[in-house]
Amino acid sequence: MGLFDRLANLLGLRKKEVNVLVVGLNNSGKSTVINNFKHEDDRCIDIVPTVGFNVEKFSCKLNIED
Ligand SMILES: Nc1nc2c(ncn2[C@@H]2O[C@H](COP(=O)(O)OP(=O)(O)OP(=O)(O)O)[C@@H](O)[C@H]2O)c(=O)[nH]1
Ligand SMILES: [Mg+2]
């Protein structure tokens, strides 16, 4: 990785897109967790049981520790 790439990553200029698959038992709170990652203005007020599956696209900032 070159200097520019490192700098761009450090400054957060390069946004990476990831796909996240959320799996779990019925009624275990998957949609609720996803809803809470959304910006306040975009959150659903009423979460109903998901029929089949949902595909959603939104931006959020994650700090992940392993
Ligand atoms: N007490 C409690 N209830 C929760 C929590 N998270 C979600 N719930 C409730 O659990 C119920 C199911 O939440 P959902 O987010 O719809 O769960 P889900 O896994 O998406 O359910 P399906 O789409 O049916 O698979 C809702 O009534 C939520 O309000 C939690 O942390 N604590
Ligand atoms: Mg759901």
| Model confidence pLDDT, tens digit, residues 7-56 | 887 887 777 888 999 999 999 999 999 999 999 999 999 999 999 999 99
Is 57 domain-assigned? yes
Confidence of residue 5 (pLDDT cuts 50, 70, 90): confident
- Angstrom distance (rounded) from CA 61 to CA 39: 10
In the chain, the number of structural domains is: 1
Is 37 domain-assigned? yes
Is 7 domain-assigned? no
Domain that holds residue 48: 15-65
**Cβ–Cβ under 8 Å, residues 30 and 22:** yes
- Give the gyration radius of the chain's Cα atoms: 16
Is 24 domain-assigned? yes
At 25, list the tokens: 């038992």
Q: Residue 56: which of 13, 45, 37, 12 has the closest Cα?
A: 37
User: What is the model's pTM?
Assistant: 0.83
Is 9 domain-assigned? no
Indicate the top mutation candidate among 47, 50, 53 to test ligand 1's pocket, ranked by most ligand atoms within 8 A of CB.
47
Q: Which atom of ligand 1 is nearest to the CA of 32?
A: 15
- ipTM of this predicted complex? 0.97
